[in-house]
Amino acid sequence: MKLSILFALLPLVSAAPANGRPKPRPAPLKYPGLDVLAKRAGLLYFGTAIDNVVLNNTKYVSIAHNRSEFGQVTPSNGQKWMYIEPERNVFNYSMGDAIVKPGIKAGQMRRCHTFVWHNQLPAWLEKGNWTKAELTKVLENHIKNEARHYYDQCYAWDVVNEAFEDNGTWRDTIWLRVLGKEYIELAFKFARKYASPRTRLYYNDYGIERVNNKSLAVAALVKDYVKRDIPIDGVGLQAHFTVGRAPTYENIKASLNLFIKEKVETALTELDVRLALPDSPEKQAIQAEIYANSTKACVDVSDCVGVTVWDFWDPVSWVPETFPGNGNACLLDADFKRKPAYYAISDMLRSYD
């Protein structure tokens, strides 16, 4: 097991028995679940994001909180600013709790997502005429309240999400315009101040799964923060991929190592692989290879602690709405049948057993 896993939050991870392997978890599965296999391969977890819109589907929920399949859960939307603080200093944790609380009951770890982002902000915040001092207070107050509500309930927090453009320049956001580049530093300091000291603090972004201008910019930020003792523990590589344009195993591994050498852990935090519709067996075969190679890259890199898929069921994927003409990005189809991608990950993880 990787050394970074020893730092995992103790109440969130079951102790391993004397033989060193994770304790078998009961589940009505023909094959061991992906989380069981991931732990045997040396990862801390294999997890999934869950959106509130599907919590009325009992079949979906039974799979989402089957901890042999998914040892970690992430609220894909329920902890974002527009839902948590819809009015200034009025907090509503119901959507986040609807995923976190069942995760705790099921014995699953939780990755919490996200304190600071430029999207899904409430109108009062986005349209406010803020001074730097005022917006700093708003930022601290939001992180303070949310971090305290979920105190010691999160293995990790995505503190800041998507602060860079694809070319490695700073993304133009309300945070950058009012607070300047130091808003990221402030967010991490506030997160460390109010979150559990055992919670891992992550920077999270897409398009950094190759060594490119964006990943190099993030690595430079991390290097600077580590040098100056700004509290940062990890980098999340979102890993939203496309059949025909996905990075290779070598690409992902090289990018993961960019951050590992800066003494922070990494994870694939939002893995999915969309394809152009109509679907076909040939496209599914390529999709399966991308899923397996992405997961393998994490297994093979020291201090890449886990993989989270950005939901597991095609009907609730974010892809069709965001990328018209694309879809079928998840591991299970509309009938909850496991697709070739699921079995490719399973077979790859078994090879480490």
pLDDT at 81: 98
Question: Is 134 known to be catalytic?
Answer: no
User: Helices (DSSP H) in the chain: which residue ranges?
Assistant: 34-40, 58-64, 81-84, 94-105, 123-126, 132-149, 174-179, 182-194, 213-227, 249-260, 281-300, 319-322, 340-350
How do 265-276 and 240-242 pair as beta strands?
parallel
**Does residue 51 contact residue 96 with C-beta atoms inside 8 Å?**
no
**69, 185, 262, 270: which one is catalytic?**
270
Residues of the chain short of pLDDT 50, as ranges, are 1, 3-29
Encoded amino acid at 33, one letter:
G
pLDDT at 11: 40
pLDDT at 226: 98
Question: Is 182 known to be catalytic?
Answer: no
C-alpha distances (whole Å) from 168 to each of 32, 261, 268 are 41, 20, 20
Quote the CA–CA distance of 114 and 276 in Å, as a whole number. Answer: 29
Domain ranges of the chain: 3-350
**Does residue 301 contact residue 266 with C-beta atoms inside 8 Å?**
yes
**69, 85, 146, 162: which one is catalytic?**
162
pLDDT at 193: 98
Beta bridge partners of 156: 111, 200
pLDDT at 2: 56
Second CATH level (architecture) for the domain 3-350: Alpha-Beta Barrel (3.20)
Q: Per residue in 185-205, pLDDT tens?
A: 999 999 999 999 999 999 999
DSSP string for 292-339: HHHHHHHHHSTTEEEEEES-SBGGG-SHHHHSTTEE--SSB-TTSPBP
